Amino acid sequence: MEFELIMASEAKTRLLARQLGEKLVAGDVILLEGDLGAGKTTFTKGIGEGLLIPQMIKSPTFTIIREYKKGRLPLYHMDVYRLEDTSADELGLEEYFYGAGVSVVEWAQFVREDLPEEYLEIKLFHIDENTRKMVVKSFGERYKQLAMEVFGK
How confident is the model over 74-99, as pLDDT tens digits? 999 998 876 666 666 667 788 889 88
The pLDDT, as a whole number, for residue 110 is 76
Measured distance CA(104)–CA(127) in Å, rounded = 23
Q: What angle do CA 105, 106, 108 make, to 5 degrees?
A: 75
Percent above pLDDT 70 for the chain: 92
Measured distance CA(143)–CA(128) in Å, rounded = 29
pLDDT at 17 over 70: yes
The pLDDT, as a whole number, for residue 109 is 80
Q: Which of 89, 98, 95 is nearest to 118 (CA)?
A: 98
Measured distance CA(97)–CA(119) in Å, rounded = 10
Cα dihedral: 51, 56, 60, 66 (round 10) = -60
Name the band, by pLDDT with cuts 50, 70 and 90, for residue 43.
Answer: very high
Architecture (CATH level 2) of domain 2-151: 3-Layer(aba) Sandwich (3.40)
Measured distance CA(51)–CA(70) in Å, rounded = 9
Domain boundaries, the chain: 2-151
The pLDDT, as a whole number, for residue 86 is 62
Measured distance CA(93)–CA(24) in Å, rounded = 19
The pLDDT, as a whole number, for residue 75 is 98
Percent above pLDDT 90 for the chain: 63
| pTM of the entire predicted model | 0.92
Measured distance CA(5)–CA(79) in Å, rounded = 24
pLDDT at 107 over 80: yes
Average pLDDT over residues 101-126: 90
The pLDDT, as a whole number, for residue 37 is 81
The pLDDT, as a whole number, for residue 83 is 64
Kindly report, residue by residue over 56-71, the tens digit of the pLDDT: 888 876 678 899 999 9
Measured distance CA(93)–CA(4) in Å, rounded = 29
Backbone angles phi, psi at 26, to 5 degrees: -55, 135
